[in-house]
Amino acid sequence: MGNSIGPPVGGHPYVGHDHFWARAMSRRQFLGTTAGAAAAMATTPLWFPTLAEAAGSDPTPIPGGFAPGFHAFLGPGVEPSSIFNYRGVTGVATVQGTGTGTNTSTGQKTALLFDSDNRFMQGQYIGMDGRRHEGTFGFV
């Protein structure tokens, strides 16, 4: 039973999965992957320059909106920001389209509609604590 990895199954030695060694990493691949992961962790502050602060510096939402609890207005010619007492840059992307959903049990395909409202705001605002702050926010 030279290469068996476990107790015999059905009278035959268990040797593991045939494709295991096709996916195995060499030492060089392992060290390269861990070095890449370590570099990614070390440079995370460069990707996310500011972390969320305490609730006192949260922005005050604009009054109103398209539904209770949603402080945003939809459509052209309306306020694009969802922050009250705000001065900065706001970007808006409203995307509509279609897609296809597939029932994995039956294989039946169904046409689906897609609608997305994405925004970002970057600038200065007066926080819930009444003080001036600077930050970047996203709304999806």
Measured CA to CA, the distance from residue 107 to residue 109 in angstroms comes to 6
Cross-strand partners of 114: 97
Residues near 35 by beta carbon (within 8 Å), at least 6 away in sequence: none
Among 51-60, 90-99, 106-115, the range scoring the smallest mean pLDDT is 51-60
27 or 138: whose pLDDT is higher?
138
Measured CA to CA, the distance from residue 140 to residue 138 in angstroms comes to 7
pTM for this predicted structure: 0.49
pLDDT range class, residue 54, cuts 50, 70, 90: very low
Measured CA to CA, the distance from residue 17 to residue 51 in angstroms comes to 44
Which of 113, 51, 115, 61 minimizes the C-alpha distance to 83? 61
Cβ(97)–Cβ(116) below 8 Å? no
Task: Check pLDDT > 80 for residue 51.
Answer: no
What would the mean pLDDT of 101-125 be, rounded to a whole number? 88
The domain segmentation of the chain, as residue ranges, is 6-47, 55-139
User: Considering Cα of 15, then 21, then 23, then 29, what sign does the dihedral take?
Assistant: positive
92 or 37: whose pLDDT is higher?
92
Residue 106 is predicted with a pLDDT of 92
Cross-strand partners of 92: 119
* DSSP assignment string, 115-126: EEEEEEEEEEEE
- For residue 18, give the 3-state DSSP assignment: coil
The chain-wide mean pLDDT, for the chain, equals 75
Cβ(34)–Cβ(26) below 8 Å? no
Cross-strand partners of 109: 102
